[in-house]
Amino acid sequence: MGKTYKGKLCVYCGKRPSVAGDHVLGRGFCLEKHRGHLPQVPTCDECNRVKSYLEHYLTTVLPFGGQHRDSQETLSTLVPKRLEKNAKLHRDLKIGYVGDKIPLREGQIEPLFAFIAKGLLWHHWGITLTDDDCAAAIVVRNDGAGFLNHIFTKMPPRDRVAENLGDGALIYEGIQAKDYAQFTLWRFLVYGGLNFAETSRDPNGKHCVIFAVTGPRAPLANFWASVFKEELPAA
């Protein structure tokens, strides 16, 4: 990644100078043959450290809940090497993996995809969030994503992006609101739709989609409360 991403403003915190480039969507989510075109952004040491911690955990665990063929290949070729280096996680998975039930730690997916939303905002539209802005993410079951999917299909945006990485292993879409350039909504399909329910082999629409938002803190908090009936977990 060289000097291209050094000495700029970190796109994740918007405060500290960048020291390196970061793959917005961690390379570990993709098989080696699909890592050539992943988006990169400037990052500071602190943000890179926190994001890397989340990635190391999730690139090991999420393939267990994936539906895409690459998640199965990742499980057989990459995950064993990662577990060799993390004995505690290996023990946790062996104890908690019953049927299709994966012991997924709470509070891991959402912070990572808030980071990812910030990175994609800069990658596609050159925008870095300020102190008046924030980002948040949430995991939603397919059968509960109707309203958010409706926004994607019906709302006329300022701009729209869609990317398919790793032959469908990572798919994301983003729309940018007309009123605020930094107000964006993202939809992520990871490994064909994640599933950590005990009935994951049941074709009952329980696969998970990840949504993330960025934007001005006050209107974003109102949006989040109206859609999810809870306080915005802003980052």
What does each C-alpha distance from 118 to 6, 93, 111, 148 come to in angstroms? 18, 30, 11, 19
Main-chain phi, psi angles of 53, to 5 degrees: -60, -45
- Confirm whether 20 is domain-assigned: no
Res 198 pLDDT > 60: no
- Confirm whether 115 is domain-assigned: no
Which structural domain, as residue segments, surrounds residue 165? 130-228
- Confirm whether 213 is domain-assigned: yes
Q: How far apart are CA 143 and CA 206, in angstroms?
A: 7
Q: How far apart are CA 136 and CA 189, in angstroms?
A: 17
Pick the residue with more confidence: 148 or 184?
184
At 37 the pLDDT is: 82
At 206 the pLDDT is: 59
Mean pLDDT, to the nearest integer, of 10-14? 97
Pick the residue with more confidence: 144 or 81?
81
Range name among 139-143, 175-179, 208-212 with the lowest pLDDT average: 139-143
- Confirm whether 158 is domain-assigned: yes
- Confirm whether 166 is domain-assigned: yes
List the one residue out of 211, 141, 135, 199 whose CA is nearest residue 172: 211
Q: 165, 25 in Cβ contact below 8 A?
A: yes
Give residue 100's pLDDT band: very low, low, confident or very high (50, 70, 90). Answer: low
Percent of the chain clearing pLDDT 90 (strictly above): 48
Res 1 pLDDT > 70: no
- Confirm whether 155 is domain-assigned: yes
Res 143 pLDDT > 80: no
- Confirm whether 165 is domain-assigned: yes
Structure tokens at 136: 């948040």
Share the mean pLDDT of the chain: 87
- Confirm whether 110 is domain-assigned: no
Segments in 41-167 forming alpha helices (H)? 45-61, 69-77, 79-84, 87-96, 109-125, 146-154
At 152 the pLDDT is: 83
pLDDT tens figures, 101-141: 566 778 899 999 999 999 999 999 999 999 999 999 998 88
If one counts the domains in the chain, the total is: 1
Write down the pTM of the prediction. 0.90
What does each C-alpha distance from 204 to 15, 71, 198 come to in angstroms? 45, 20, 12
